Amino acid sequence: MTSNQLQHSKNSLGQQFFTFAEPPDEMFLESGARLGPVTIAYETYGQLSTSRDNVVLIAHAFSGDSHVAGCLTDDQGEAKPGWWDSMVGPGKGIDTNRYFVICSNILGSCMGSTGPAAINPATGKPYGLDFPVVTIGDMVDAQKTLLDHLEIDSLLAVIGGSVGGMQALEWCVRYPDMVRAAVPLATTMRHSALAIAFNEVARQSIMADPNWCQGDYYGKKTPDLGLAIARMVGHVTYLSDQAMRKKFGRRLQDKKDFSFGFDADFQVESYLRYQGSKFVSRFDANSLLYITKAADYFDLVDKLTTKESIQDLVGASIKFLVISYTSDWLYPTYQSRELVRSLKRTGQDVSFCEIAADCGHDAFLIPDERLSKLIKGFLGGVAHG
């Protein structure tokens, strides 16, 4: 570990970058393709113990980034809190006074790690659709290489929600000897037909945008309309009927009557349009295509039900805390219960909690003292176990 990395581990200096797989030693992907060089953006919080046994790896959801906690100042001088700032920090659920927290941006993203918007060294231009399709397993392998670089060979816990939960589960299957505990939240062993369908609608909305140009839109007009619609579709799946009814109902947006046209008459229409336009300013359309495809490809059912695939996990000793939410209709509780049953069949120590919440799939991102206490107690048990 370099002096700069050591200083970062103590003081959380913000986003750091690690590059590996320089040609001709490219990274081998599950598809059979090779990729290199690969850059992974990451942030760390807290201090690494002398025995290096207090590491908590946090995996973000599909459009997240490495900035999980604290505040950064953007180009406009505004403070940007971490996406899980309510959970990660001194004295919080994931206590950075006790744990050394790492959060890296996933492979295929556009938040600092190598993805389709990165420069292809073979052409000197952004990859676009020349970027190979990546899987959740590829993302985890890239994280493993980062940990090797940081000289970390053991994880106290790996924690993640949604697509981050998929990564947490993949870690337990690929590298079970490295993981002492895992907390998959609001996630699934594999996508249902409904989840795949919503992702396909989102992808088609991007690819139907005339500015998409088969993914070769960098330096040109970007497919903003398609990306905004894709975000609108996704956002609907993150909420719940209860949340939308409570937040919007059928209330009109700054009107007393219908426009009898196609303006945003209802508050919910205005809200979705706002979410779509806001997303366009921070995310890359091609990254959405690649990450949603990786989530659709993810399938842990066979790995947790066939004798040959679970042999390594059976020999491991991992403590699991599986968490679901009552109003999550994207990854409903029955899918978490299926995960619990599959893990128990491999002899794992599994705890399960369904949290009552009316805010849908995104509930794990919303400050909740119940979740903080649950994770804090679980990690404390693992640390002292």
Domain boundary assignment for the chain: 3-191+298-384, 195-292
Chain segment 79-91, per-residue pLDDT in tens: 889 999 999 999 9
Residue whose C-alpha is closest to residue 284's, from 120, 114, 77: 114
Chain segment 118-138, per-residue pLDDT in tens: 999 999 999 999 999 999 999
> Of these residues, 95, 328, 362, 368, which one is catalytic?
328
Contacts with 237 (C-beta within 8 Å, 6 or more apart), sequence order = 195, 198, 329, 330, 361
Lowest mean pLDDT among 58-67, 209-218, 247-256: 247-256
> Average pLDDT, stretch 62-66?
96
Q: What is the DSSP string of 94-129?
A: EETTT-EEEEEPPTT-SSSS--TTSEETTTTEE-GG
The CATH code that applies to domain 195-292 is 1.10.1740.110
What fold is seen in the domain 3-191+298-384?
Rossmann fold (3.40.50)
Same topology, domains 3-191+298-384 and 195-292? Answer is no
Residue whose C-alpha is closest to residue 100's, from 151, 63, 161, 49: 49
Express as a percent the part of the chain with pLDDT over 90: 85
191 is known as an active-site residue: no
Q: Calculate the alpha carbon distances from 75 to 72, 79, 80, 119, 282 in Å.
A: 10, 10, 10, 23, 13
> Of these residues, 336, 361, 368, 372, which one is catalytic?
361
162 is known as an active-site residue: yes
Give the whole-angstrom CA distance, residue 260 versus residue 21.
58
Predicted structure pTM score:
0.94
> Of these residues, 12, 63, 66, 162, which one is catalytic?
162
235 is known as an active-site residue: no
